[in-house]
A = this chain, B = another copy of it.
Amino acid sequence: MSASVRTSHDVDACVQVDEALTRAFGILGKRWNALVLGSLRFGPAGFRELSRAIDGLSDSVLADRLAELTRHQLVHRRVDEGPPVAVTYELTERGRALLPALDQISAWAVEHLPPEPSAQ
């Protein structure tokens, strides 16, 4: 192994551990994905509903994010052929499994992250 000087600990070892984290934040690390999942936390919702619920998110990006989350099978796109065709997005089991983690992050923000941009 290319063992060079280690100042404190072997950082290279983290790379393995972080592989799962890298995969997770390949999805969650995009600007609105976690918020979309968070908005679906309490039940299914339609496109326009989500668009209004998440402030600052444009339609084009929302469509992109929903497609991505659907592709990763975190949300499911259900089409109800009415006549008034209605599209509903809801979390899959995979998506629901992520909710406890999101709750924990939310709790962390409440406890440790001040509302101001850290200006205090």
On chain B, the residues within 8 Å of A12 by CB distance are: 52-53
CB distance from A13 to the nearest CB of B (A): 7
Interface of A is mostly: helix
Q: With A and B bound together, what is the CA distance between A117 and B68 in angstroms?
A: 11
Pick the contact of A102: B8, B21, B32 (CB < 8 A).
B21
What size tier do the contact residues of chain A reach?
35 or more
A45 contacts B7, C-beta separation under 8 Å = yes
* A residues adjacent to B (C-beta < 8 A): 6-9, 11-15, 17-18, 20-25, 27-35, 38-39, 41-46, 49-50, 52-55, 71-73, 86, 88, 94, 97-98, 100-102, 104-113, 115, 117-118
